[in-house]
Amino acid sequence: MTLTTSGGQRLLWLLLAACLAALPASAQTPDDEFRAVLAELREASFSDKESIADKLIATSHMSARPVLTALLEDRLFVRSQDQQIFIVSSTEESRTQYELIDPVSLSRAGSAPVDELTKIGTNNRLRRFLRITIARGALANPDPDVRRAAVRELLRSLDASAIELLRQRKTEETDARVLYEIDTALALATLDDGDAAARVAAVQTLSERLSPEVRNRLAALIERNDDGSFAESDEGVRVAAAAAIETIDTARSLYSGVETLFFGLSLGSVLVLVAIGLAITFGVMGVINMAHGELMMLGAYTTYVVQTALPGYIEWSVLIAVPAAFLVAGLAGVLIERTIIRFLYGRPLETLLATFGVSLILQQLVRTVFSANNRSVITPSWMSGTLPINDALSITYNRLYIVIFSLIVFGLLLAVLKRTRLGLDIRAVSQNRAMARAMGIRSEWVDAMTFGLGAGIAGVAGVALSQLTNVGPNLGQSYIIDSFMVVVFGGVGNLWGTLIGGISLGVINKLLEPYAGAVLGKILVLVVLILFIQRRPRGLFPQTGRAAEAA
């Protein structure tokens, strides 16, 4: 789902985007001039290439940096047939065709078989030169994120010229986050050449950092060489380094705990999302809807259909799919209720069987219409990627959005039940059908609406699931047991119970996983749940009163 791109490439795209943003107006130099300089690269020696690179920069053409970055990353090629130079978007080994990008306009230029392309080579010296040249440009960029990324890139292989560049930048830099990175880099540099006191100070600066590079560097200080002497000669520095490593490790394990909790939270909110519709039909109506999973599946397929029908709106597709899925699944729910469920009120075990039949039919229907294969649903770019909190903790956007989304759905549902007329009717009918009817509530209509509401929410959950798992005919089955567990655990007929039950199950699951492994963890959770139900047969928040007993 997420685009798996290496850090370097990500940086590249950032740079590229920044260049595009920064230099649009200065592209007055004719493209031809740029192209001519570029053409020289074909036969140049390594040292010539350095000067060509300088010349390219001197043109201030907007494509200069992307081209140099491509050269640095071995992605600049000459096409054999016409000796044209192209940037290649990716050189993954599995590819037999490379996607070509025109180096001047940066637009797509078709593709070519791998063996018809010749790479423009580099050596270490040239690469160092290119890196510094590119970084220098990036460090002057007005966007602090670009500058920060540039520092981090430099930090990976510090040499004298890089250090010099950073020192220089430090005097001008105003952004605290960029300064922070520069300090890290300079402190790392100090470890190599400062005096003992400076090294201790550098270690102290580094003890506040979290990145694995820093930790490894510090760990190297207290290691012994082969001859038994310490890698770091000064005792004081070693002591400081050991203390710093401990500080870093504590902080890192704290953050990994936070990360586990967040994973648990996001799994939990998925569980809440898939269970909450069930909580309505099961808890409020006493109907065991085994087709709940398949209604989610319908929601997920709705997302697919929306994306197929509106290929130009992929970024919006998920947002469009939410109401669409609500309608599709909700209508399906109303249909099921009107044709089947309404004859089975008060007989929960029978509703279980009948809706199970419905689930089989829906699965097969999807197989007939869409084939048995999984469909690929695209993740909009705003939902992919990660939100870095710090070096030890970053949060993927899709997880974050799912948490927010399920809280919104939960809140809306609660509002519908508590604040609207429909909600009042639903609660009235669920508590005393005959009485509600006597009060003039059209219980038939309320039943259909309630079931439709539960089904619609299942559809909405399906949209979310389409971003997390494969969209296929079996999507529903894999969640149905979990969602029943959540409802039973939380206590039937209590939405808050579903929320707390779902989140705690998610967190427990993720907490167990590191020790027991995913499958065993799941088994453990099921066993714990079975035992829990023995203790509290009606869940965390049991319904009370005589109505509950007679239920």
Ligand X SMILES: Nc1ncnc2c1ncn2[C@@H]1O[C@H](COP(=O)(O)OP(=O)(O)OP(=O)(O)O)[C@@H](O)[C@H]1O
Q: Please, which residue, 408 or 548, has the CB nearer to ligand X? A: 548
Q: How far is CA 111 from the centre of its chain?
A: 30
Q: Return the beta strands (E) in 400-487 as ranges.
A: none
336-355: which residues touch another protein (CB under 8 A)? 340, 343-344, 348-350, 352-354
Q: Please, which residue, 161 or 431, has the CB nearer to ligand X? A: 431
Structure tokens at 53: 């690179």
CA 233 vs CA 197, 219, 438: distances in Å: 13, 14, 90
Question: Which one of the spans 256-264, 286-294, 388-396, 398-406 is the region binding another protein (CB under 8 A)?
Answer: 286-294
CA 462 vs CA 78, 297, 457, 468: distances in Å: 47, 6, 8, 10
Selected binder of ligand X within 24, 228, 440, 545 (CB under 6 A): 545
- In the bound state, the residue with its beta carbon closest to ligand X is 545
Does residue 247 contact residue 207 with C-beta atoms inside 8 Å? Answer: yes
Which string of x and - marks every residue 234-273 that binds another protein (by CB under 8 A)?
A: ----------------------------------------
Question: Which one of the spans 141-149, 231-239, 307-315, 516-524 is the region binding another protein (CB under 8 A)?
Answer: 516-524
Tell me how far apart the alpha carbons of residues 464 and 425 are, in angstroms, rounded to a whole number: 29
> Taking CB under 8 A as the rule, does residue 434 contact another protein?
no
Distance in Å, CB of 436 to another protein, minimum:
20
Nearest CA among 6, 551, 13 for reference residue 282: 551
Q: Please, which residue, 115 or 549, has the CB nearer to ligand X? A: 549
> Taking CB under 8 A as the rule, does residue 368 contact another protein?
yes
Distance in Å, CB of 539 to ligand X, minimum:
17
Question: Which one of the spans 99-107, 135-143, 284-292, 306-314 is the region binding another protein (CB under 8 A)?
Answer: 284-292
Other Cβ atoms closer than 10 A to 139: 22
Selected binder of another protein within 364, 371, 376, 390 (CB under 8 A): 364
Q: Return the beta strands (E) in 171-329 as ranges.
A: none
505-544: which residues touch ligand X (CB under 6 A)? 544
Selected binder of ligand X within 93, 312, 535, 546 (CB under 6 A): 546
Residue 433 binds what, of ligand X, another protein, none (CB under 5 to 8 Å, by partner type)? none
What are φ and ψ of residue 119, in 5° steps?
-75, 145
Q: Please, which residue, 73 or 294, has the CB nearer to another protein? A: 294
Distance in Å, CB of 50 to another protein, minimum:
56
Tell me how far apart the alpha carbons of residues 34 and 389 are, in angstroms, rounded to a whole number: 40
Does residue 38 contact residue 56 with C-beta atoms inside 8 Å? Answer: yes
Tell me how far apart the alpha carbons of residues 327 and 458 are, in angstroms, rounded to a whole number: 11
Which string of x and - marks every residue 302-341 that binds another protein (by CB under 8 A)?
A: --------------------------------------x-
Kindly give the pairing relationship between strand 108-113 and strand 97-101. antiparallel
Distance in Å, CB of 548 to ligand X, minimum:
8
> Taking CB under 8 A as the rule, does residue 527 contact another protein?
yes
Distance in Å, CB of 435 to ligand X, minimum:
14
Count CA atoms closer than 13 A to 184's CA, side-chain side: 26
Nearest CA among 469, 64, 168 for reference residue 296: 469
Tell me which residue has tokens 């065993």. 520
Q: How far is CA 512 from the centre of its chain?
A: 22
Tell me how far apart the alpha carbons of residues 407 and 414 are, in angstroms, rounded to a whole number: 10
Other Cβ atoms closer than 10 A to 516: 15
Residue 160 binds what, of another protein, ligand X, none (CB under 5 to 8 Å, by partner type)? none
> Taking CB under 8 A as the rule, does residue 197 contact another protein?
no
What SS3 state is found at 194?
Answer: coil
- Site of interaction with ligand X (CB under 6 A): 544-546, 549
Binding site for another protein (CB under 8 A): 282, 286, 288, 290, 340, 343-344, 348-350, 352-354, 356-361, 363-364, 367-368, 477, 481, 484-485, 488, 519-520, 522-523, 526-527, 529-531, 533-535, 537-538, 542, 544-545, 548-551
